[in-house]
Structure 1
Amino acid sequence: MVDSVLTRPAGKEDKAMIAVNPTLPTDVVVLLAADPDPGIRGLIAHRADLGPAERRALTTDPHPDVRLAVSLHPALSEEERARIDYQVPMDHPFVFHPAPEVPRDPRTVRRKALSNHPLLRRQAAGDHLLPPDLVARLAADDDLGVRVLLAQNHPAAPAPLLLRSFLEYTGPGRSHLTTRPGFPTGGLAVFADHQDPEVRALAVRDPETAPAVVERLTQDREHAVRTAATRHPNLPQSRLEALLDDEELAHAAAANPALNPDTIRRLVKTDSRRAGPSA
């Protein structure tokens, strides 16, 4: 069965399934480590039972994805990793991941956090139970992925890291950073004129943003910014009441906590009259 799968022309999917089979005989691991398909070699490169000779061969593989895959092998020393010509991808999404049901081994997590390999540090950065000393270390890491993954996943991610990550990372899951417990609110008014609308919207999270600035943001070219500014309690009452008649922003204006009580009563009475008596 194995021999036929490995030799038939259309066997890529079958070989991929075999490559991740945890009970492969050693000779099949050796055979697949030299497969013509770099995708198969890349899968084999992750195997813990990959022999020293195969590891050495894959560290100089002609395909960059294979070299990157084997550079993460747990049997390699830091010195051996450093000799591999790998490239760290920056186009991966750096997002929140739920904590695993079984906590990761703390010693393994620490080893990865102290590694010179950015991808191993990224793996460590996503651990929800990372101790304070490693949180501080990885918060200052020179790799964007490490910093953002720490910000996305650690419950004690520091506020400066959360803000920096939001400003520097523009990929999937960016908005999740603003939901983290330590995301700051103070001092965000300085972003009111930022060219990035998601960054401009930070200004309306600041309770100290000046009324004139909030009013200007209700006229922003981006709908999300306009809506958020319309809900800001510093919005001048005159502008707030005017927006109650704005078809686009009326609902946001009605939800503003600073809305005048008399205006609220008027709105409720008007709505009641429109509804008429119940049947």
Structure 2
Amino acid sequence: MHPVLCGLAANTALPAELIDRLIAVADTAVDTALASRPDLSHAQVLALASRADDTAVQLVYEGRLTAPDVDPVTHPQAALALLGEHVGQPEWARLFALDPSVERREKLAACPGLPPDAVETLATDSDARVVAELALRTTSDMAARLAGHPHAEVRRAVAANEATPPAVLAMLVTGEGLRPAERCLVCDRRDTPFVHDQGCQRTDCDLLPGASCDGSHESTVHDMQLQALRNPATPAGAVVGFADHPSTLLRQQLAARPDLPPEVWGRLVDDPDAGVRGELAENPSIGVAQIRALATDHGYDVRRRLAHNPRVPLDVLDQLATEVRIGSHLLPRIAAASPAEVAAMAGSKNPALRMLVAERRDLPNGIRDVLARDPDAKVVKSIARHPGLSEAQLRAMVDRHHVRVIAKVAANPDASAALLEDLAGLEPPGHKVFREIARHRNATAPSLLACLSNWSARSLAAGHPALPPHVIVELLSHDDWQVAEAAAANPSLPPSVMSQWVLGR
């Protein structure tokens, strides 16, 4: 990979006549950058697609390569990508359904809208991984049919498919009405009983860590149950019994379901595992009684997760904000608060609650301005990025709270060029401050030059169009490849220098 050429390939100001030349000298990394350009001609798209399958696939996903452009024999991966986007040719599906490559048949099985005859071929494939891939996304009728497949891996995929009929999902969970599975990926490959080593170093082994089979295909059955619990189409009545299951993972997934009856909430509130109680704490369907019980739960992360529940009462959130490190981001309950609730929180005696409401970016001007004058630095940090704050307000924040708020002030979309220059010169400098300045739309040459002295902001500054052109040119030879690539992608790089790099190679 040549960083300068990669950067030039992504440069929006690269002259059109240089794109063809760059395609001719490009390597794989440069091809990737070129394929993302929106200004490629059809001829350039075809030239790039002809170089490597990966590039052709990328061009499919970019919407630049279409079915008439692709030969499925010479570019099978691109053809499969087009089928995956539901814009391939039906005859390709029939071709790949019989492909000797298991990997290609798997990719085909994941494609939507396949012709019925191709689906039938895949449903009877000799490799369970192909059938499982089909089962994961197929129609309701086919999913119901594959639920009785003798391979446990296929049944696991059926359990994850939201199109699977609820009655069939219930059968998979309970086992009632289905013959036991005959095989799994573990007993396909190993003599049983077998437990796959968590630290297996074999490069030819594709079994998951901990996969096991003693004849009952237990690890795959466990995964099937987990998928069914995650599936919203699985009837609640079929899964409530998992509240007492010995598997912590299954109980955790059960606790996250929104359709549980209240009596199950009560059992899960008292679960011995904090992870289960944490999942329940974030569940938006639980009742106020469970929320208040969990508010006193000192298990790891339970109360922090409860703070993210959109139905948590504000008095509970007030308590949690004081006792738990929630972080400075907008909580669902704060985002949904009414104007009256917002005003009450902004006037709270609890600075932690004021900090949380300050994370909203749609506050009325009056409330915003009051919070901008808050004596508590953490409140000011939360409000500092709010749009509409004047330069005087932002400077007042820095004067009062200095290093504790300057990074957030620098991130304010309305921060002026003069303010950013002053922030760049403050002592002590901070990595976060320089990074925010380096990516700011109002940053000017003086502040960006200061950012170049900081290792964490240097590559961001190198790509900023306000950087002086002669500095950008110097950065092309920087020891750090990320800086050199960012400078090469800078649209303020002189076109003559771009030509030298492309034509001089």
TM beyond 0.5: yes
Computed over aligned residues only, the root mean square deviation of the Cα atoms, in angstroms, reads 5.3
1:6 to 243, 249, 253: 243
2: CA distance, partners of 1:275 / 1:93? 50
Alignment pair present for 1:27 and 2:263: yes
2: CA distance, partners of 1:156 / 1:132? 8
2:371 to 138, 153, 162: 138
Q: Could you tell me whether the CA contact under 8 Å between 2:243 and 2:264 is conserved in 1?
A: no
Structure 1 residues 183-262: aligned runs within 5 Å: 183-187=415-419, 188-189=421-422, 191-192=424-425, 194=427, 195-196=429-430, 199=433, 202=437, 220=453, 222=455, 223-224=458-459, 227=462, 247-248=476-477, 255=492
2: CA distance, partners of 1:59 / 1:242? 56
Partner residue, 1:77: 315
**1:6 CA drift (Å):** 1.1
TM norm structure 2: 0.35
**1:131 CA drift (Å):** 0.7
Q: Percent identity?
A: 21
2: CA distance, partners of 1:36 / 1:218? 51
2: CA distance, partners of 1:84 / 1:150? 17
1:86 to 303, 319, 323: 323
2:297 to 61, 65, 83: 61
Summarize the Cα distance change of 1:32–1:137 in structure 2 as closer, same or farther, 3 Å threshold. Answer: farther
Alignment pair present for 1:126 and 2:359: yes
Which string of whole-angstrom CA distances, capped at 9 and with x for unpartnered residues, describes residues 135-189 of structure 1?
1233344262x4444344x33244444975995369xxx69x7564311322534
**1:9 CA drift (Å):** 0.9
1: CA distance, partners of 2:357 / 2:322? 22
Summarize the Cα distance change of 1:43–1:110 in structure 2 as closer, same or farther, 3 Å threshold. Answer: farther
**1:218 CA drift (Å):** 9.4
**1:31 CA drift (Å):** 1.4
2: CA distance, partners of 1:133 / 1:120? 18
Q: Could you tell me whether the CA contact under 8 Å between 1:185 and 1:206 is conserved in 2?
A: yes
Summarize the Cα distance change of 1:121–1:16 in structure 2 as closer, same or farther, 3 Å threshold. Answer: farther
Summarize the Cα distance change of 1:190–1:228 in structure 2 as closer, same or farther, 3 Å threshold. Answer: farther
2:280 to 36, 44, 55: 44
Long gaps (5+) in structure 1? 234-239, 257-263
Q: How many corresponding residue pairs?
A: 240
Q: Could you tell me whether the CA contact under 8 Å between 2:348 and 2:354 is conserved in 1?
A: yes
1: CA distance, partners of 2:471 / 2:265? 72
Structure with larger RCO (C-alpha < 8 A, sep 6+):
2
2: CA distance, partners of 1:218 / 1:20? 45
Q: Could you tell me whether the CA contact under 8 Å between 1:88 and 1:119 is conserved in 2?
A: no
Rg larger in 1 or in 2?
2
Long gaps (5+) in structure 2? 1-237, 479-483
Summarize the Cα distance change of 1:166–1:247 in structure 2 as closer, same or farther, 3 Å threshold. Answer: farther
Q: Could you tell me whether the CA contact under 8 Å between 1:139 and 1:150 is conserved in 2?
A: yes
**1:34 CA drift (Å):** 1.2
2: CA distance, partners of 1:68 / 1:245? 48
